[in-house]
Amino acid sequence: RTIYLKDYQAPDYLVDHTDLSFELDPHATLVKSKLKIRRNPAVAQANETLPPLWLDGADLELLSVSINGELLPAHRYQQRAGGLSLSTDAPEFELEVHTRIAPEANTSLEGLYLSNGMYCTQCEAEGFRKITFYPDRPDVMSVFTTTIVAPASYPVLLSNGNKVDSGTTEDGRLRVTWEDPFAKPSYLFALVAGDLQHVEDSFTTCSGREVKLQLFTEARNIGKCAHAMTSLKHSMRWDEEVYGREYDLDIFMIVAVDHFNMGAMENKGLNIFNSACVLASPETATDAAFQRIESIVAHEYFHNWSGNRVTCRDWFQLSLKEGFTVFRDAEFSADMNSRAVKRIEDVTLLRTSQFAEDAGPMSHPVRPDSYMEISNFYTLTVYEKGAEVVRMIHTILGPEAFRRGSDLYFERHDGCAVTCEDFVAAMEDANGADLKQFRRWYSQAGTPVLDVEDTYNEALGEYSLTIRQQTPETPGQKGKLPLHIPITVGLLAEDGSPLRLDDAAGQMEVVLHLTEASQNFTFAGIASRPLPSLLRGFSAPVKLRYDYSSAQLQFLMQHDTDPFNRWDACQRLSINSLQTLQQQYRSGEALQQPAALIEGYAAVLDDAALDPALVAKMLALPSAQEIAEQGGEIDAAAIIAARTFARDAIATALAERFLTRYHALEQHKPYSPTAEDIAERSLKNTCLFYLCAAGSADALALAKGQFERGENMTDTAAALAALVEFGTETQAEGFLQAFYQQWQQDTQVVETWFGLQSGSAKFGTLERVQKLIAHPAFEVKNPNKVRAVIAGFAMRNFTQFHRADGSGYTFLADQVIALDKLNPQIAARLVTPLTRWKKYRAQESAQIHAALQKISVSGELSRDLYEVVSKS
Ligand code: ARG
Ligand code: ZN
């Protein structure tokens, strides 16, 4: 069954108060809910017959239903697939429902479930209906009171809001009551119960209120909380300073759980995190993990305003909170670390994965028009492209006007469930701006392609750009309209200096507003032909084509004042070289040295003034997935051949430079996850990787030394990755064994260990991945382990997954079929690589399609998996 945005109807009934009580038991948890219900005045008619009350419910055992304290006779309610319908005889009443659930049997990790013996919940989007019968939709907002009763072996009992009561029951169980004064939708409800330790800190808000901060984990992880706590305090300060948003409760709690479908969840006052996204120590976590944690802690915290205080009317509006909050967390990370590097990482993700989604069978607008299963729409499009849409509003309006718009948005809609339209309207109304055409970004799917041509008129001193836009058709959407696209542009003079583009304002860059299918932009007073620096900072989520020569790209790499575009010029140079190599491979020619690329890389390495983090990003060849996204039929073998050849050619040609730089960057100081130190480690380890790729025994000895010193997980894991990729198989086996011996007690490190193997082009063969699945540390019911091993292979190991015999595809199909029975959300995500079959050469395409077929005829599929498979 498909649900459409156009069918939205306001709820028939509202819930003013929700009083929940839980008697926890793994097999039979008793849930009692008392709801103060009232007819929604916004839809009520005079003298009407009251419509039936609909309550969503799934996998629940219904025990009883009462209204105003009296058991409801059976003819007054009907249990249907997906819920309960009951007839009412008054517009206002108290409903009491008792249900029984079995958290132990819940492997979907939605609703109430157990993770390592700890009870926890995940209710977004529609998990609350697996806890009790309820109007489980975000436009029903209620004040919640929650009482938890559990055996004394669960000393920590948590829920949203403030703890208002606690005690012991007659039979010796613990009882705690929580009250959340802020009305919220059911998806923000949370409950945690376990034998947990915590660290505590406090934050004084801008108005001088003291907020207690607590981070709960199992005892073994208590030493891994400091970084998340620091990140939380930084986030709270940043949101006050940049958005004027103050925290509203007296307590803010975070809980780390090992079994979690996503990264984390912003439940009011009680955020629940995937352990991998919150726990870190220098010995066990890489720099990338430290930075991911900082951004996710911020993301969930920022949701307190963009998501909780102002929430979504319905799930089609998901990007209202997710796109905005991703934009907020990206700006926070940019302020805490290197802005250019953060932007490069985000754009890489967008180009690699969101563009592929936009061009695939599941392509949908930032605000989808329809869905079968909403869990399938927690996508890169809703999150990342949604964030780009908010960023474009920021670019179009400028920072002060954007802030006026966000202030108005929060003030106008505080306590309400609203739409993307309301967000744009607030941005307009606060500034007298016109975003009418801009709104198309919310409803039109697909990645726009821009073609840029330029002319220079020497006699007039005029330079002009002609920009054409076009968005390809996507499933169900033909005849795309022109979008309002902000294009930030700078011009470079022949000597590399930036040109003034507007005499009056003396600006070095301008934002061009492309609104037509084709448009001309002319710059006057330009003394000689300039070189354009286009789409600076990636000012819009588009593919931009301009026919740069290699020499021009090298020039931009050295002289552009926009660091993002220096990197982007290097990317373009790499992509051009890799495409040439692919052509040579396909026509059976000998592959030629990528001379321009090597020259460009050499210049980057020789530029002592360049931020080492930027150098590392420039020297990283685009991933196979990103190369595959360049258009045309994907030829996996050609991509791999081209990329490996280029890598080895670079490694050999620049070996001396890599060695000098490696030694210069060795750190003789304690680990710290500051932007500066991270930058140095990233370049140092890039050098190490190339050194090992060139294959000398000396290089492998360097890696071995770095591995054995084990100064921090960033350096250890990088050394191990190089040894696995470039050492002999026996050596690799030995190092991997040693690493496992040392870290087998640490879940997060074991995940890293799995990922290192499954993602290795050389080591991560299908046979080895099958062994990993049989390894005692692998748990099919733990999404992190599944992601590390199976997604590591299918999504991050292009070489082995696309093995010519097609066995990688069949393997993935079998895994997806098995997982769908346990955890549909994970199965539906894991199947993604098989949905892109149309993009490949005939042989791979047929093999991938056959694997997809295998799934579709395997038996009854979950709604999640069915939607993805049937649309592909
Ligand atoms: N709102 C969460 C976040 O982005 C994600 C929850 C997604 N849950 C799901 N079942 N898809 O912060
Ligand atoms: Zn979010």
Tens-digit pLDDT profile for residues 129-140: 999 999 999 999
Ligand 1: centre distance to CA 185 (Å): 14
Task: Tell me, using a 6 A CB cutoff, whether residue 864 lines ligand 1.
Answer: no
* Residues in CB range of 338: below 8 A, 6 or more apart: 611, 613, 614, 675, 679
Distance (angstroms) between ligand 2 centre and the Cα of 739 equals 34
Q: Specify the residue for token string 């929700």.
A: 18
CA count, 13 A, side-chain hemisphere, 291: 24
Q: For the CA atoms of the chain, what is the radius of gyration?
A: 28
Is any atom of ligand 1 closer than 6 Å to the C-beta of 688?
A: no
Three-state DSSP string of 445-497: CCCCEEEEEEEEECCCCEEEEEEEEECCCECCECCCCCCCEEEEEEEECCCCC
Alpha-carbon torsion angle 843, 844, 845, 848, nearest 10: 130
Atom 3 (ligand 1) nearest CA: 265
- Residue that is written with structure tokens 């006057």 in the block: 524
CA dist 376 and 364 (Å) reads 11
Is the beta carbon of 266 within 6 A of some atom in ligand 1?
Answer: yes
Q: Percent helix, strand and coil across the chain, each rounded to 5? A: 45, 20, 35
Catalytic: 867? no
- Interval between CA 152 and ligand 2 midpoint (Å): 34
* Dihedral-angle region of residue 21 (phi above 0 means left; psi in -120 to 50 means alpha; beta otherwise): beta
Q: How far is it, in rounded angstroms, from Cα 392 to Cα 370?
A: 25
Residue nearest to atom 1 of ligand 1 (CA): 265
Q: Could you tell which of 128, 136, 259, 262 is best to mutate to test the pocket of ligand 1, judged by most ligand atoms within 8 Å of the CB? A: 262
Q: Terminal CA-to-CA distance of the chain, rounded, Å? A: 17
Backbone angles phi, psi at 483, to 5 degrees: -100, 160
Q: Which two tokens stand for residue 442?
A: 């919310």
Residue pair 160/154 in contact by the 8 Å Cβ criterion: no
Q: Is the CB of 300 under 6 A from ligand 1?
A: yes
Cα–Cα distance for residue pair 413/309, rounded to 1 Å: 8
Protein residue with its CA nearest to atom 8 in ligand 1 = 124
What atom in ligand 1 is closest to the CA of residue 378? Answer: 11
Residue ranges in the chain modelled with pLDDT below 50: none
Q: Is residue 315 lining ligand 1, measured as CB closer than 6 Å?
A: no
Nearest CA to ligand 1 atom 2: 265
**Cα 336 to the chain's mean position, in Å?**
19
pLDDT score at 431: 98
Torsion sign across C-alpha atoms 23, 24, 30, 34:
positive
| Ligand 2 centroid – CA 352 distance (Å) | 21
Q: Is 264 in the pocket of ligand 1 (CB under 6 A)?
A: yes
| Dihedral (CA of 589, 590, 594, 596) sign | negative
- 833, 362 Cβ separation under 8 angstroms: no
SS3 859: coil
Ligand (nearest to CA of 326): 2
pLDDT at residue number 505: 75
Within 154-259, where are the H helices? 226-243
Give me 779's structure tokens. Answer: 């748990």
**In contact, 119 and 80? CB cutoff 8 Å:** no
- Residue pair 424/452 in contact by the 8 Å Cβ criterion: no
Contact 835, 843 (CB under 8 A): no
- Structure token digits, residue 9: 């109807």
Distance 274 CA to ligand 1 centre (A): 11
Does the Cβ of 422 fall within 6 Å of ligand 1? no
Cα separation of 724 and 718, whole Å?
10
SS (H, E, C) 314-346: CHHHHHHHHHHHHHHHHHHHHHHCCHHHHHHHH
Secondary structure in 3-state letters for 769-790: HHHHHHCCCCCCCCHHHHHHHH
- Contact (Cβ atoms closer than 8 angstroms) between residue 594 and residue 582: no
Among residues 23, 110, 126, 300, the one annotated as catalytic is 300
Is the CB of 265 within 6 Å of ligand 1? yes
**Phi, psi (deg, nearest 5) at residue 252:** -130, 125
CA angle 863, 867, 872 (to 5 degrees): 150
Tell me how far the alpha carbon of residue 3 lies from the centroid of ligand 2, in angstroms.
22
d(CA 255, CA 100): 25
Model confidence pLDDT, tens digit, residues 622-675: 999 999 999 899 999 999 999 999 999 999 999 999 999 999 999 899 999 999
Q: Are 255 and 173 in contact (CB under 8 A)?
A: no
Say how many Å lie between the CA of residue 265 and the centre of ligand 1: 6
Taking the C-alpha atoms of residue 387 and residue 374, their distance in angstroms, rounded to an integer, is 19
| Region at 446 (left for phi over 0; alpha for psi -120 to 50; beta for the rest) | left
Name beta bridge partners: 118: 115
List residues bridging with 312 in a β-sheet.
418
Residue 125 CA: which ligand is closest?
A: 1
Ligand 1 atom with minimal separation from the 322 CA = 4
